[in-house]
Chain A
Amino acid sequence: MEKLAIKGSTPSSGIDQWKFGTKQTHRHEESNPSAYQTLRPTEQLKETINDEMASTSVGSFELVESKLSDVPLSVWGRARLPPLESEEWATFLDSEGRVVDSKALRKRIFYGGLGHHLRQEVWKFLLGYHQYDSTYVEREERRAHKLKEYRILKAQWQTISDEQAKRFAKFRERKSCVEKDVVRTDRVLPFYAGDDNPNVSILHDILVTYSFYNFDLGYCQGMNDFLSPILFVMQDESEAFWCFVALMEHLAPNFNQDQNGMHSQLLAVSKLVELLDSSLHKYLKQADCLNYFFCFRWILIQFKREFEYENVMRLWEVLWTYFITEHFHLYLCVAILKKYKKKIMEEKMDFDCLLKFINGLSGHINLEAALRDAESLCVLAGNTGALCIPAGTPPSLTANMM
């Protein structure tokens, strides 16, 4: 096994830098020393990280202390795999359709995603709509049962008469908010394009039904962004609704009235940057950017507006495996910020410039590279990284999903 690379650099102004090299061989054919990226854990975390990093799922590492420059050490991300396809998918199932080893499945999807035709079936597990140990028969029964339930929920608002609606301001407001948003949701996609597109009506019906299913939360802008790919994948109103419900079980806090779910995630990103890139943190601090509001859109709708549709689906299935961490999206934020750190700092971006710059990255981020970087960062940060993320930070998962 090759020795993974350590990138050298020049003496620095006294801040110790760390580099990582493999201490011994490990079984990761995909490991790729060319996937460099820079990491600068803060000094006080040296010992912790040293301990944490001795052995990880990606391999074994050794911390090597040295005086390095601002261009610090390099780590590698595992090469991504091709998407999971039908033949391989079948090997994860027993004769009755149970997923035998859900962790192995989630790992496989984390590293490669899914072929598009498998998404309809597999997303239901990832989202927690179907249990991994359910059988084909049980899933079919559930589908029928949930369809009935959906029809009842939908009828609750569809049977509201005009007279009743006149006296029901909240209903009118919600409905009109949904109406405004569905007609501007991914309309360039053929699936939602054109006048009187029935799929736009389905988006509408699901979102209004959801606002009755979860009346306390209601409809919130951004939910339409989440639902659009789910309906596109499921091609079925009731199944899309329940998958959306399952997703909202974890991500509803993003839309809380008090915005606490968002604030805790933005704070966690700030802590992670402080841990993983102290000079970027220092820069953002002096530029008065530590509220990280420039990452708001990234986090609220899990990068939906930042990638092409296909890549959004790829990213989401990777995130939803919750394989290495349930907060992988936060490491992705850090990875992208680090990628553009030099530009951000050299151009001395203030809050306004940074927001504009980040918004402008939409459509220009290399997803696969960012995923690798994020994985490296997550592995490197280890438990110290996990401690940056306060308990209760969305997504809030149930035990059976991890």
Chain B
Amino acid sequence: MATRKRTLLKVIILGDSGVGKTSLMNQFVNKKFSNQYKATIGADFLTKEVQVEDRLVTMQIWDTAGQERFQSLGVAFYRGADCCVLVYDVNLLKSFESLSNWRDEFLVQASPSDPENFPFMVLGNKVDIDGGNSRVVSEKRAKTWCASKGDIPYFETSAKDDLNVDVAFQCIAKNALKNETDEEIYLPDTIDFSSGSTHTSSSCSC
């Protein structure tokens, strides 16, 4: 039976402290929200099986500390990543402005083989707050930035209300997988017709 080298997708979530990295991860994996998560110290991860088209993959989602001075730890945690999710809080300009830094830092520390085409994703979180009245970063502005960085897919999410969380992570999985098969196609004995590489239909806008 044909197998692929890896069915594990390593996803790193980065972004300023308090933008909701842990909450997004927990909402996606455990379908739970709490506003009492503690600030993440060091790093941790959760795993979840997802169906991407007709393939079952395990997503390993890494949640890291958001404070800048802990970035040097990234070397240990980022290696082997298949996708990097950059999160900001739509109500906090500073967290949006930090995205560039987080992206650059990731590329330096993870040093992926093809940085130009490494799959990123941007999530504008906390759109639920104050019915959207306190948001300071518009969707347009965020999308412009994403476009300028090589068309990074963008979603607006609320970990609290479970808005777009599944959709975003499905897209993350799909992109990470696409990247993986692009760089290492591994079809040992027989040709795997079920891998779905020719499928183009998707609910995902990216």
In the complex, whether A235 has a CB less than 8 A from a CB of chain B is no
Q: Are A301 and B44 in contact (CB under 8 A)?
A: no
From A224, A255, A296, A352, give the contact of B39 (CB < 8 A). Answer: A224
From B42, B66, B76, give the contact of A297 (CB < 8 A). Answer: B42
Whether A222 contacts B41 in the complex (CB less than 8 A), given A173-B94, A180-B18, comes out as yes
Interface of chain B residues 58 through 80 with chain A (CB within 8 A): 60, 65-67, 69-70, 72-73, 76-77
- Report A-chain residues with C-beta under 8 Å of the C-beta of B77: 293
Q: How far is the CA of A23 from the CA of B37 in the complex (A)?
A: 53
* Closest B residue by C-beta to A293: B76
In the complex, whether B145 has a CB less than 8 A from a CB of chain A is no
Name A's interface SS.
helix
- Report B-chain residues with C-beta under 8 Å of the C-beta of A256: 69
Interface size class of B (residues with CB under 8 A): 20 to 34
- Report B-chain residues with C-beta under 8 Å of the C-beta of A221: 17, 39, 41, 65-67, 70
In the complex, whether A282 has a CB less than 8 A from a CB of chain B is no
Q: How far is the CA of A309 from the CA of B39 in the complex (A)?
A: 17
From A187, A257, A258, A359, give the contact of B36 (CB < 8 A). Answer: A187
Q: Are A188 and B36 in contact (CB under 8 A)?
A: yes
User: Chain B nearest CB: distance from A336 CB in Å?
Assistant: 15
In the complex, whether B38 has a CB less than 8 A from a CB of chain A is yes
Q: Are B45 and A352 in contact (CB under 8 A)?
A: yes
Q: Are B94 and A185 in contact (CB under 8 A)?
A: no
Q: Are B42 and A185 in contact (CB under 8 A)?
A: no
In the complex, whether A355 has a CB less than 8 A from a CB of chain B is yes
Q: Are A255 and B36 in contact (CB under 8 A)?
A: no
In the complex, whether B43 has a CB less than 8 A from a CB of chain A is yes
In the complex, whether A400 has a CB less than 8 A from a CB of chain B is no
User: Number of residue pairs across A and B with beta carbons under 8 Å?
Assistant: 67
Q: Are A185 and B67 in contact (CB under 8 A)?
A: no
- Report B-chain residues with C-beta under 8 Å of the C-beta of A257: 69
* Closest A residue by C-beta to B37: A184
In the complex, whether A368 has a CB less than 8 A from a CB of chain B is no
Q: How far is the CA of A176 from the CA of B89 in the complex (A)?
A: 13
Q: Are B38 and A184 in contact (CB under 8 A)?
A: yes
Q: Are B17 and A305 in contact (CB under 8 A)?
A: no
In the complex, whether A342 has a CB less than 8 A from a CB of chain B is no
Q: Are B69 and A259 in contact (CB under 8 A)?
A: yes
What mask results when residues 218 to 262 of chain A are scored 1 for a CB within 8 Å of chain B, else 0? 001110110000000000000000000000000000011111000
User: Chain A nearest CB: distance from B94 CB in Å?
Assistant: 7
- Report A-chain residues with C-beta under 8 Å of the C-beta of B17: 177, 180-181, 221
- Report A-chain residues with C-beta under 8 Å of the C-beta of B41: 221-222, 225, 296-297, 300-301, 305
Interface of chain B residues 1 through 50 with chain A (CB within 8 A): 17-18, 35-39, 41-45
Q: How far is the CA of A220 from the CA of B39 in the complex (A)?
A: 11
- Report B-chain residues with C-beta under 8 Å of the C-beta of A184: 35-39
User: Chain B nearest CB: distance from A352 CB in Å?
Assistant: 7
- Report A-chain residues with C-beta under 8 Å of the C-beta of B42: 293, 296-297, 300, 355, 359
What mask results when residues 138 to 154 of chain B are scored 1 for a CB within 8 Å of chain A, else 0? 00000000000000000
* Closest A residue by C-beta to B62: A352
Q: How far is the CA of A224 from the CA of B69 in the complex (A)?
A: 16
Q: Are B37 and A359 in contact (CB under 8 A)?
A: no
Which A residues contact B (CB, under 8 angstroms)? 173, 176-177, 180-181, 184-185, 187-188, 220-222, 224-225, 255-259, 291, 293, 296-297, 300-301, 305, 351-352, 355-356, 359
Pairs across A and B, CB under 8 Å, 27 listed: A173-B94, A176-B94, A177-B18, A177-B67, A181-B17, A184-B35, A184-B36, A220-B69, A222-B39, A255-B69, A257-B69, A259-B69, A259-B70, A259-B73, A291-B76, A293-B73, A296-B42, A296-B73, A297-B42, A300-B42, A301-B41, A305-B38, A305-B41, A351-B76, A355-B42, A355-B45, A359-B42
Closest 9 CB pairs of A and B: A180-B18, A296-B42, A297-B42, A297-B41, A293-B76, A221-B67, A221-B39, A359-B44, A187-B36
